[in-house]
Amino acid sequence: MKEEKYDVVVVGAGPAGSITAKTAAEKGLDVLLIERNAEIGVPVKCGEGVSKEIERFVDVDPRLICAVFKGHTTYGPDGTKVTLSVDDEGEIGYVLERRLFDKFLAQEAARAGAEVRVRTRAYGIIREEGYVKGVYANSAGEDIRISADVVVGADGVESRVGRWSGIDTRLRLADVATCAQFLMCDIEFNREYCEIFVGEEIAPGGYAWIFPKGGDGANVGIGIGGDVSCENHRASDYLKAFVNDRFPDGEVIAKMYGAVPLSGPVYETVANGLILVGDAARHVNPFTGGGILYAMQGGAIAGDVIANAVHEKNFSKRRLMEYEKRWRKEFGKVLDVGLKIKNTVLSLSTQDQNKFFHALAGGIRTKGFTERTLLKEVIKKNPRLLFSLARMMF
């Protein structure tokens, strides 16, 4: 079997993997980024909405943006409308073209010095004396033994790297949203706001969304709880019903199906010689289902910590725990609070969900927008329901 050696091998070229690879390569490390698919960013499995906070991590080229939006409009089960916007009515986020965005991030990693290899699938890990020491991969038909001081599991929701290394990343059905999404055109919708629809009838255990994609196009999708999905009641069935009801004359340009981990972060995201980032670490806000920002934020922290570990030649779990401490400090609380809010809202009867939305009716206006401000406002306006959460968050 062919043998190769790097400081770091990153498995998966989504946002988490590419930012990890870029950050580590910028700090002088010898990095290999592998992707099982032939084309990075394809197939797209995402609603592609992201807040402007993304600019903290990357300069977003306008060519990677399909639409900008001024806020979110959410409809409760009885149709109660809650609009979230900012004081100056400015734009708060983008709907990306992930097909291009993911490629752009991988290019950034390559420009920083990382080697990027597509059609290369990791199928096992190398273990030596209690340490993860690399991966076995198949690259366009050829088996390779890739040794590395640190392996990064950036292999998304289906992640296996963590499990191979002994970290329990299993997800309960109730902790996964199964999703279906159509890229539609020739439809009428609010082009300035992302719209979200909540309710058992539309999307049990989840929600439906319409995210503008530019002009008369939009990502129209539905995510439902994995535990409620069954024959004739799959996300695709609910999506067809939603689309037939709202856009009977619209055209479907593309269809996609995927899953979002809504469990909150895995208990441990590091082991000797191993770090998990992005969806593999379950770094998704369980309330909003958004994971792009956390994948990038976690990736930047991971790349930095790995660089320090390589310079110190210390790849122990103890050394790599710096990554865990830093992501918990930067966004751990937001994910924890998101999980509590999701569990609270899902445990409510339809009647109480309506009350939840009534409390927010009239809308939420904030100075600036971050996921943190959104959760804070939701909590503030539902003091009785979410009293306990407020103490956690502030």
Ligand X SMILES: Cc1cc2nc3c(=O)[nH]c(=O)nc-3n(C[C@H](O)[C@H](O)[C@H](O)COP(=O)(O)OP(=O)(O)OC[C@H]3O[C@@H](n4cnc5c(N)ncnc54)[C@H](O)[C@@H]3O)c2cc1C
SS3 (DSSP) at 268: coil
Sequence-separated (6 or more) residues with CB below 8 Å from residue 145: 1, 2, 3, 4, 126, 134, 136
When the beta carbons of 94 and 315 are compared against ligand X, the nearer one is: 94
- Residue 295 touching ligand X (CB under 6 A): yes
Please report, as residue ranges, which positions from 105 to 134 form the binding site for ligand X (by CB under 6 A): 121-122
Given 30, 45, 118, 214, the residue binding ligand X (CB under 6 A):
45
- Residue 71 touching ligand X (CB under 6 A): no
When the beta carbons of 301 and 385 are compared against ligand X, the nearer one is: 301
Please report, as residue ranges, which positions from 254 to 293 form the binding site for ligand X (by CB under 6 A): 258-260, 278-280, 284, 289-292
Given 6, 10, 12, 29, the residue binding ligand X (CB under 6 A):
12
- Residue 297 touching ligand X (CB under 6 A): no
Please report, as residue ranges, which positions from 152 to 181 form the binding site for ligand X (by CB under 6 A): 154-156, 179, 181
Q: For ligand X, which stretch binds (CB under 6 A), given 32-40, 71-79, 142-150, 245-253? A: 32-40
How far apart are CB 94 and ligand X at their closest, in Å? Answer: 10
When the beta carbons of 27 and 98 are compared against ligand X, the nearer one is: 98
SS3 (DSSP) at 332: helix
Task: Give the separation between CA 114 and CA 34, rounded to whole angstroms.
Answer: 10
Burial (0-12, 13-18, 19+ Cβ within 10 Å), 99: middle
Task: Give the separation between CA 394 and CA 392, rounded to whole angstroms.
Answer: 6
Report the half-sphere exposure of 27 (CA within 13 A, side-chain side).
19
Given 8, 9, 10, 11, the residue binding ligand X (CB under 6 A):
11
Q: For ligand X, which stretch binds (CB under 6 A), given 13-21, 317-325, 327-335, 355-363? A: 13-21
Q: Which helix (H) or strand (E) holds 232?
A: none
- Residue 36 touching ligand X (CB under 6 A): yes
How far apart are CB 352 and ligand X at their closest, in Å? Answer: 27
Sequence-separated (6 or more) residues with CB below 8 Å from residue 163: 169, 170
How far apart are CB 19 and ligand X at their closest, in Å? Answer: 8
Return the ∠ at Cα 316 (arms to 294 and 263), rounded to 5°.
35
Return the ∠ at Cα 213 (arms to 210 and 217), rounded to 5°.
80
Given 8, 9, 31, 46, the residue binding ligand X (CB under 6 A):
46
Task: Give the separation between CA 90 and CA 53, rounded to whole angstroms.
Answer: 14
How far apart are CB 314 and ligand X at their closest, in Å? Answer: 26
Exposure string for 28-51, b = 16+ CB within 10 A, e = fewer? ebbbbbbbbeeebbeebbbbbbbb
Given 26, 48, 53, 324, the residue binding ligand X (CB under 6 A):
48
Annotate 111-152 with DSSP letters as a single string: HTT-EEESSEEEEEEEEETTEEEEEEEEETTEEEEEEEEEEE
How far apart are CB 312 and ligand X at their closest, in Å? Answer: 27
How far apart are CB 354 and ligand X at their closest, in Å? Answer: 25
Interface ranges with ligand X (CB under 6 A): 11-17, 34-37, 45-50, 121-122, 154-156, 179, 181, 221, 258-260, 278-280, 284, 289-292, 295
